[in-house]
Amino acid sequence: MIRFLTAGESHGEGLVVLLEGMPAGLEISENYIGIEMTRRQKGYGRGGRMEIEQDMAHIVSGVRHGRTLGSPISMTIENKDWVNWTDIMSVEPVAETIERITRLRPGHADLPGTMKYGYSDVRNVLERASARETAARVAAGAIARRLLEEFGINLHSHSLSIGGVWASNSANIDWDKVEKSPVRCADSAVEADMMKAIDDAKEAGDTVGGVIEVVAEGLPIGLGSHVQWDRKIDGRIAQSLMSIPACKAVSIGDGWESVNLRGSEVHDVIEPVEDLSHPWQRQTNRSGGTEGGMTSGMPLVARFAIKPISTLRNPLPSVDLDTGALVQAHYERSDVCQVPPAGVIGEAMVALVLADAFMEKFGGDSIEETRANYRNYMGTVGPRKFKK
């Protein structure tokens, strides 16, 4: 129902995003999208690039007088740094010889990408493999978030660990505090330790990763489906998070922790229905808001692990693409820790998946039609005794 594509190289003229499937009549503005773009740019441990860019998504089509038209929405995001790269990234051939990158970085797309596409310059791969692309995802995700907001669905994220420093697990997270935290952590007791882990890695010319939790509240029961593998909401969430550059693991709810427990300690007991406006409450939410490939009506809780960045100021030994001889891996201005921005990207990806599943279930061509479908369904989800 909702699909999107991005285009653009890290140091090219800019990024482009095309988003299709949004209903007509949804209020949206460049300023609203800009809030999400700014959130992605913050975070302790980022490199110099974010000081150059002040990302804004410019809406080119699909919106008129502040509301979506139901037609494809296209947006562009300027790369301010491009002015420094016009020759290196020129679309047209240039007279001067551009220095090739041949020192492969382990852990990046450099080696498989150059082999697969038959290049002799690693830049042809790294420019698109760069996480600069995620700015376009966040722009698309902001519109998905706007749609979900109309139905009382809100998304947040927080850093659970950075560089081996873990936050305590709290059920009641103060999201305003997370937004103010330089490491997007809800636990102030470990914030300074997380920042120190980043500083120590930076000093050593090294990098650190971590774990992020994304939470979506206000979801109706029944998004996704049990009937076919590719319709399962947990699988779709996992794929979307795993596609974030440097993501190496995804779990839903108690995930890995649940495997050592007994079934009686893992499943979420269903409460007797006392309030018809909020039926099917659970004593716990260990399943992270999904059962059988569908949302359970409880908050969706997904975690994902971000590995330490592979571009190291103190580079790993590697080999040269031309000669195969031992060299030090290429170094290009780089982040030390990308966990805080990855949280915002994770929210965007989850928002896009949830908006897609939402439109699958309730999608009308306009927001009013979608709202009517939603209300109609919500009136049917109580105990069957009360069903009209």
Ligand X SMILES: Cc1cc2nc3c(=O)[nH]c(=O)nc-3n(C[C@H](O)[C@H](O)[C@H](O)COP(=O)(O)O)c2cc1C
Give me the residues that bind ligand X (CB under 6 A), please.
47, 108-109, 129-131, 134, 244-246, 307, 309-311, 334-335, 338, 341-342, 345
Name the residue nearer to ligand X (CB basis): 191 or 335.
335
Name the residue nearer to ligand X (CB basis): 75 or 135.
135
Kindly state the smallest distance separating residue 137's Cβ from ligand X, in Å.
10
Name the residue nearer to ligand X (CB basis): 153 or 214.
214
Contact 105, 311 (CB under 8 A): yes
Contact 334, 206 (CB under 8 A): no
Q: What is the DSSP string of 144-167?
A: HHHHHHTTT-EEEEEEEEETTEE-
Helix (H, G, I), strand (E, B), or coil: what is residue 259?
Answer: helix
Kindly state the smallest distance separating residue 105's Cβ from ligand X, in Å.
7
Kindly state the smallest distance separating residue 53's Cβ from ligand X, in Å.
12
227: its two tokens: 């009937």
Rounded CA separation 338/151 (Å): 31
Name the residue nearer to ligand X (CB basis): 150 or 332.
332
Name the residue nearer to ligand X (CB basis): 28 or 101.
101
28: its two tokens: 């949206």
106's CB contacts (< 8 A; 6+ apart) are 310, 316, 318, 329
Kindly state the smallest distance separating residue 8's Cβ from ligand X, in Å.
14
What is the 3-class SS of 293-357, one letter each residue? CEECCCCEEEEEEECCCCCCCCCCEEEECCCCCEEECCCCCCCCCCHHHHHHHHHHHHHHHHHHH
Q: Specify whether the backbone of 174 is left (phi greater than 0), alpha (psi in -120 to 50) or beta.
A: beta
Kindly state the smallest distance separating residue 56's Cβ from ligand X, in Å.
18
Helix (H, G, I), strand (E, B), or coil: what is residue 37?
Answer: helix
Name the residue nearer to ligand X (CB basis): 59 or 309.
309
Q: How far is CA 206 from CA 44, 104, 181, 185, in A?
A: 15, 17, 23, 22
Kindly state the smallest distance separating residue 117's Cβ from ligand X, in Å.
15
Name the residue nearer to ligand X (CB basis): 137 or 145.
137
Name the residue nearer to ligand X (CB basis): 71 or 243.
243
Give the helix ranges, DSSP H, for the chain.
30-41, 49-52, 110-117, 123-129, 134-149, 175-180, 188-203, 233-242, 263-266, 339-362, 367-378
Kindly state the smallest distance separating residue 238's Cβ from ligand X, in Å.
14
Kindly state the smallest distance separating residue 63's Cβ from ligand X, in Å.
27
